[in-house]
Amino acid sequence: MSANFTSSRRVASSSALRSLPLAVLPAVLLSLLLAVPAGCAKRDLAEVEPKARKVLLIGVDGFDYEMMKPLFDAGQLKKLAELRTRGILVPLLGEQATLDPYSVGLDPAESFTTIATGLPPTKTGSGDNKADIVRGHGVRDLTVPVVQGYERAPVTSAHRQAPNFWDVLSAVGVKCAITNWPATWPSEPLDGYLVTDRFFLEKLNLGPFGPAGRVDLPTIDPAFRQHGQHLTWPADLADRHAGELAAALNGKLPPIFDAMKRLQSIATDAPTLRNLKQLEQSLRTDFAAKQSLQALLKADPSIQFAACSLDSFDVACHLFWMNIQPDGWLRHASPAMRAKVPADFKKFADVIPMAAIALDAMVRELCDAMGPDTTVLLVTDHALMPELELSNRDFNLNRLFEEVGLLKRLPDGSIDWAQTTCFDRTTWPTHFIRHVSINFAGEWPQGWIPKPTAQERAVRWREIQQKLVSLPIDRNWRDANGGVHNSLFWDVKMGEEDSHFIIFSTLPAETQVTFPDGKVLGLNTLFPLRYTYAKHTRAGDKMGMLLLSYPGEQGDAYGKRGVPMGKGGGRSYQIAPLVLGLYGIPLPDARDEATPTADFLYWMLDVREAQEMALKPRVESYEALVRFADPQSPLGAHRARMREYVQSLRYSFDSMASLTAIDLGPGGAAAGSAPGDDASGAVSDQADDGR
């Protein structure tokens, strides 16, 4: 590896701590953690001597130790149980959900970038007090708009506005190996190896946007799923590595793959069969990611830090929660919800336990490849809960637009843009706040409606809004102010270039809509129920968890320690400083990088390590020291080239306004509640009983 990306200077770690009486340390420790000791100069990363330790970080989407307690008690998750007994398990409190404030949870690109950068997604703090401002990493969604196009593309590493913690590790000479971490393509330089998330799509046709896709993620046009350059670091790793992984995928696979094929052969319900195929796709992706990291670790024993993310357990829970806890659906007041339970649902009750056992096996193999002296961090970005709401629908408005003549389709089912007036371009199917655009010439590739003046634009929108809002439904509902409505829409908001149609999301499935030509369609036809059965826990609740497991006697002692009294949990942005702290890398002095982590480090790190860190002068700034944004540095110059490359592929860097900013008006929902909840209005008695 070129010296451009690693530090060539080393100095011994400070031993000043050893000269202090141990009795003095507890009284001064927190103040030392929170401030640089007087008279100490800031340090450069080249002066940091990293600890000689191995650390393995495994991001597991959606895993919940409490949920899997029966499997732990039965001894079926032996590796995860071992890690748990030799470490400390901390709940992570959730961040705000993505664009829709009422959505079911976190975007994986957003949350795992928060873990990797130690920063929240967007700037926080008051503009009146600069000391309170923390900048964001900038990754707010799994996809981004395409310039001059109707499509959306997966978010990229070029959209990230802050360094990852492995940039810092590389700067002090810690060799790293990273595989399948979200939003890592195009690859960036580091001391070691990076196999990006896009590598698995391009080389193996695997991932959330692959052929099977994921029922709970947006659809991505094939043209934006794959790109053959910058898939790995170093670049020449890609082809050789792809051949190794393809051979593994075509060889003997773990037992769960045979089980998936057997279950697919007996599935008689179409949604169940589709869900099984999507889970198999996710399991293959996880297996490939595990094999990728395992191969790198076996080929290069000098790797000191390794990380990968695994997604299949989350997919299993979203798609098969009903099969392990069916009562909520079987006893639901809505016939449509009861109908979501297939007659043979009991045959698939073992899917989630099988996914957990497969996960345990993958974690064991990664730990074995890293070695017995490894410190392991296992992190999940959210927990899950049953999805029993009628609002679990695909609220895309294009089906409705077809019925009123605003959208046309070609014989193959694709949209005929040359005859389409307006279209729904919201990312996530479950959002009941829909982002709609008019197909104006000059604004869209096949726009045919003459580019309007501001007044003409407003007239066009009023016509469309009136056409949709006036569609009658066969029942009434009341808003929070007691107003009675018989429209699908709770509200409509017009922006400068588009409109937001806010659907009343808790209408009963039996609701009928009458169209101008006399056609009557039910809600299930216009907005089909989604065959997912779990959602993320809400922001503010326990969203996920972090397990820090030490090896050997240190782990045995730490497993008995538990979370210190009075400590409720951590946040996902505290994980990056924790990883750096494990290597003895001090916190930065820059306020916008020093999120409140000092106290968290003190009770998560080994006491002696925390004490040592407390006495170390802080570094100035991670970003400045790795020269993340400096076009004259190797990393900064590479990032500038990658941004140009991504822009050449028509990926947009314009951030859409968050839908959470919509003024919902008098009686509108408070954040975290949905239309129809107590905060925003209730469906009338007539609607409640389905009449």
Most confident of 29-38, 53-62, 385-394, 490-499: 53-62
Average pLDDT over residues 604-625: 81
Torsion of CA 609, 611, 612, 615, to 10 degrees: 150
Asked whether residue 612 carries a pLDDT value surpassing 90, the answer given is no
Kindly state the tokens that stand for 209. 């946007």
pTM above 0.75, yes or no: yes
Q: Which residue has the higher pLDDT, 323 or 505?
A: 323
Q: What is the pLDDT of residue 568?
A: 73
Q: What is the mean pLDDT of residues 170-178?
A: 96
pLDDT at 614 over 80: no
Helix, strand, or coil (residue 516): coil
Can you tell me the mean pLDDT for 57-70? 90
Reported as a single tens digit per residue, the pLDDT across 65-84 is: 888 899 999 999 999 999 99
Give the pLDDT score at 657.
36
Between 478 and 7, the more confident residue is 478
The confidence band for 651, taking pLDDT boundaries of 50, 70 and 90, is very high
Confidence of residue 127 (pLDDT cuts 50, 70, 90): low
Residue 526 token pair: 């216009």
Q: Is 554 helix (H, G, I), strand (E, B) or coil?
A: helix
Q: What does the pLDDT read at residue 12?
A: 30
Q: 590, 67, 8, 7: which is closest to 321 by C-alpha?
A: 67
pLDDT above 90: percentage of residues in the chain: 53
Across the range 517-528, mean pLDDT stands at 94
Is the bond preceding residue 234 a cis peptide, omega within 30 degrees?
Answer: yes
* Torsion angle defined by CA atoms of residues 45, 47, 53 and 57, in that order, rounded to the nearest 10 degrees: -10
- Percent of the chain's residues with pLDDT above 70: 83
CA separation for the pair 337, 329 (Å, rounded)? 6
The pLDDT of residue 95 is 56
Q: What's the start-to-end Cα distance of the chain, in Å? A: 71
Q: Which of 89-103, 207-221, 582-596 has the lowest mean pLDDT?
A: 89-103
Nearest CA-CA partner of 207 in 111, 283, 259, 152: 283
Position 671 scores a pLDDT of 30
Question: CB–CB of 91/600 below 8 Å?
Answer: no
Q: Collapsing DSSP states into helix, strand and coil, what is residue 651?
A: strand
Alpha-carbon distance of 596 to 573, in angstroms, equals 9
88 contacts: CB under 8 Å, gap ≥ 6: 547, 548, 558, 559, 561, 562, 563, 604
| pLDDT at 691 (0 to 100) | 27
> pLDDT tens for residues 184-200?
999 999 999 999 999 99
pLDDT of residue 655: 53
Q: Are strands 422-424 and 498-503 parallel, antiparallel or unpaired?
A: unpaired
Query: Is 605's pLDDT higher than 80?
Result: yes
| pLDDT confidence bin for 128, thresholds 50/70/90 | low
Q: Which domains does the chain have, with CATH numbers?
A: 3-389+535-648 (3.40.720.10), 398-528+657-688 (no CATH)
- Per-residue confidence (pLDDT) for residue 16, from 0 to 100: 29
| Mean pLDDT, range 479-487, rounded to an integer | 85
Give me the pLDDT at residue 497, please.
Answer: 66
pLDDT digits (tens, 9 = 90+) for 393-424: 999 999 999 999 999 999 999 999 999 999 99
**Closest CA relative to residue 195, chosen from 340, 356, 309:** 309
Residue 8 gets which letter from DSSP? -
Q: What is the pLDDT of residue 596?
A: 64
Say if residue 607's pLDDT is above 80: no
Give me the pLDDT at residue 539, please: 55
Asked if the bond preceding 186 is cis, omega within 30° of 0, the reply is yes
Residue 540: band (very low, low, confident or very high) from pLDDT cuts 50, 70, 90: low
Question: What is the pLDDT confidence band of residue 14, given thresholds at 50, 70 and 90?
Answer: very low
Helix (H, G, I), strand (E, B), or coil: what is residue 520? Answer: strand
pLDDT tens digits for 285-304? Answer: 999 999 999 999 999 999 99
Q: Are 687 and 484 in contact (CB under 8 A)?
A: no
Tell me the pLDDT band of 317, cut-offs 50, 70 and 90.
very high
Q: What is the pLDDT of residue 64?
A: 84
Confidence band of 595 (pLDDT split at 50, 70, 90): low
Mean pLDDT of the chain: 83
CB environment 227-264: b (16+ within 10 A), e (fewer):
beebbbbeeebbeebbeebeebeeeeeeebbebbeebe
pLDDT at 644 over 90: yes
Q: For the segment 334-383, what is each residue's pLDDT rounded down to a tens digit? A: 888 899 999 999 999 999 999 999 999 999 999 999 999 999 999 998 88
- What is the predicted pLDDT for the residue at 493? 83
Q: Does the structure show a pLDDT above 50 at 3?
A: no
pLDDT tens per residue across span 130-149: 556 678 888 888 889 899 89
The pLDDT of residue 689 is above 50: no
Residue found by looking up tokens 């699908």 in the block: 488
The model's pLDDT over 423-462, given as tens digits with 9 standing for 90+, comes to: 998 888 888 889 999 999 999 999 999 999 989 999 999 9
**Helix and strand tally (H, E) in the chain?**
23, 21
In the DSSP assignment, the letter for residue 61 is T
657-685 residue pLDDT tens: 333 333 333 333 333 333 433 323 333 33
Average pLDDT over residues 42-54: 80
Averaged over 202-218, what is the pLDDT?
Answer: 83
